Amino acid sequence: MKKLQTSLTHLSIALLLVASPLAAWMDINVTWNAADPAEGGRTDAYREAQRALTNENWEEAERLFAQIADGGGSDADAALYWEAYVQLKRGRASLARETVQRLREDYSDSPWIDDARALEVEARQASGRVVNPVDEDDEEMKLYALNSLMHMDSERAIPVLEDFLQGDHSVELKEKALFVLSQSGSPRAREILVSVAKGQQHPELAMKAIEYLGLEGSDDAGRDLQDIYSASTSQAVKAKALEGLMLGDHDEAVLEAAKGEADPKLRGKAVEMLGIMDAREELAELYRTESEFEVKAKILEGLFIADDAATLAELARSEPNPDLRRKAIEGLGLVDSQESRQVLESLYESETDTTTRAKILEAFFLMDDAETLGRVAREEQDPELRAKAIEGLGLVSTRESGETLKALYSTETDRGIKVSILQAFMLQENAEALIEIVRSEEDRELRKQALQYLSFIDSDEAMDFLLTALED
């Protein structure tokens, strides 16, 4: 089984399952050296100071920004902010705090105030003060303070964070404090994290704590997550523990749950995690021994996530249950490899069940395979399947599929198939093709149908043509 860190070809699926705590920190949006939105309208002196800042010529930048600030004018508030920023960069934290205070007093309505307050938190920390989130006056500043604690010595930060978790704060802020603890590496911090994950304190934070244990990825974290899974009676907690085990790449524990869990939904969850972990052989073996329909369907999804076209192809040919067979066919379409394409073409030729053949056509659509859909639309004798292939061409929406549909319409004699092609043009939002048909089609009913589909297209071309048609 490949390591998770190198095998997440479907990382987006994992991210849907588990929200990244790092992304939560990014929401704080402390971007000290961000581009100035008003820079285009700044003075030459301000732009010169910005160039010194960009070049990290801190001394020159401080001198220039100080001159601008002292001179007043439209750039003074921004200059004060950057002067404080540069002072902090130069290790002059106390002076930076004084400059921020001047900005707050002289320009209380400045758009730079919020950034300056966050900068002040950094300056206080740089001065050697413990920045206690409890002391801040609003939620946003508490977030800045929590963020600054990440950079402090853990022995000083942990008591502050423990007190914060005990206080009357929002769950969001407490989750961020817990994240800081999870990153410290301190034995005491880990003790708190495990206690919260097991529901022994702050039960409202238990799910986040389980997630953070998963991100830790250590053997100890794996054992803790297994203990949580075994001890809990909550399906939600068990599912979260499985996600944590997946994140930490604890494959044997996840496989054990997939094999031995009595609850089919949790077995399915374990199977889902195995798919993300690229456990192809394990999933194939589980499929052979599993008897529950829903779990087998989950295994097929896991095989798709693991890009296992070979096993999906085998099951698409041999699975006796028609619904599971179609699920395997769908998986082949989602894998979208040359191997799966060849298998699907072979299956379509040999298959006799119309519903299954229609599912194969859906798989070709999932692959954006306009060539195969076009061939079926031309050669298939079954009108229902021809219409299905034409619908797929409309959904593929490429230049190739549009040209194929035009050629089909020009040679087609079956009115029902022609209507299907018109609908496909509508799905493609191909106003040009529908306008051409309205102008050239001799069948009045087909012209009316083309006009109706044209009215569903939100484009200037369609609107202009319809307005002209009304005038005529």
**Sign (positive or negative) of CA dihedral 173, 174, 178, 181:** positive
Distances (CA, A) of 149 to 26, 118, 119, 138, 158: 15, 13, 14, 17, 9
112 close to 77: Cβ distance less than 8 angstroms: yes
- How many whole angstroms separate alpha carbon 231 and alpha carbon 38? 57
Sorted by sequence, the CB contacts under 8 Å of residue 11 that are 6+ apart come out as none
Rounded mean pLDDT of 428-450? 93
Percentage of the chain exceeding pLDDT 70: 84
* Residue 439 in tokens: 């102008």
As a whole-number percent, the residues of the chain with pLDDT over 90 amount to: 61
Q: Which two tokens stand for residue 466?
A: 């319809």
Question: What angle in degrees, to the nearest 10, is found between the helix axes of 431-440 and 399-411?
Answer: 20
CA 128, distance to chain mean position in Å, is 39
Express each pLDDT in 236-286 by its tens digit: 999 999 999 999 999 999 999 999 999 999 999 999 999 999 999 999 999
| Maximal CA-CA distance, the chain | 85
| 240-246-252-257 Cα dihedral, nearest 10 degrees | 30
Q: For 266-275, b where at least 16 C-beta lie within 10 A, e where not — what string?
A: bbbbbbbbbb
161-170, 205-214, 221-230, 390-399: range with lowest mean pLDDT:
161-170
Sign of CA dihedral 135, 139, 143, 144: negative
In this predicted structure, the answer to whether residue 14 has a pLDDT above a threshold of 60 is: no
Of the pLDDT bands very low, low, confident and very high (cuts 50, 70, 90), residue 222 is very high
**Average pLDDT value over all residues in the chain:** 84
| pTM (2 d.p.) | 0.66
Q: How confident is the model at residue 129 (pLDDT cuts 50, 70, 90)?
A: low
The full DSSP string for 66-79 is HHHHHT-STTHHHH
The region that residue 147 occupies, defined by phi over 0 for left and psi between -120 and 50 for alpha, beta otherwise, is: alpha
Is residue 239 a contact partner of residue 271, using CB atoms and an 8 Å limit?
Answer: no
d(CA 104, CA 282): 62
Residues sharing a CB contact under 8 Å with residue 114, sequence separation 6 or more, in sequence order:
140
Give 397's pLDDT tier (boundaries 50, 70, 90): confident
Tokens linked to 275: 């798919």
Instruction: Give residue 138's pLDDT.
Output: 59
Whole-angstrom distance, CA of residue 316 vs CA of residue 312: 6
Count the Cβ atoms, other than its own, within 10 Å of residue 419. Answer: 17
Task: Kindly list the distances between the CA atom of residue 81 and the CA atoms of 32, 51, 73, 152, in Å, as whole numbers in the listed order.
Answer: 10, 16, 14, 24
- Do you know the residue count of the chain? 472
**Who contacts 433 (Cβ-Cβ below 8 Å, separation ≥6)?**
402, 405, 406, 425
Quick check: 64 pLDDT over 90?
yes
